[in-house]
Amino acid sequence: MALFAVIWSYTTDTSVKEAAHADHLVFVKDAAAKGVLQEAGAWADGAGALLVFKADSEADLQALLAKDPYVTQGVVVDQSIYQWKPVIGPLVGI
């Protein structure tokens, strides 16, 4: 298992985000309950988000992210994924 930081940029169309929000929350809460999603939160300005996932590979993570309603419904307009190795904090050693 590895940790991955996912950086999203959102559409500026707030109606698209509002329409997908409830389904997205169900998706991320389920991922967190399963231990796959470690941390998540939107930028203070609402323009995007940072999510930290635990996955076997980037390909597995991409397959999971492709099912997120924010992705399928067009909220996410740009996505970057980085394998991440924290050295301080509660995620060290995951």
- For 38-90, the pLDDT digits (tens) are 999 999 999 999 999 999 999 999 999 999 999 999 999 999 999 999 999 88
Residues 55 and 20: their CA atoms lie apart, in Å, by 24
Burial 55-73 (b: 16+ CB within 10 A, else e): beeeeebeebbeebbbbeb
Element spanning 33, H or E: helix 14-33
pTM of the model: 0.93
> For the chain, how are helix, strand and coil distributed in percent, rounded to 5?
35, 35, 30
Contact present, 1 and 61 (Cβ < 8 Å): no
Domains of the chain: 2-83 (3.30.70.1060)
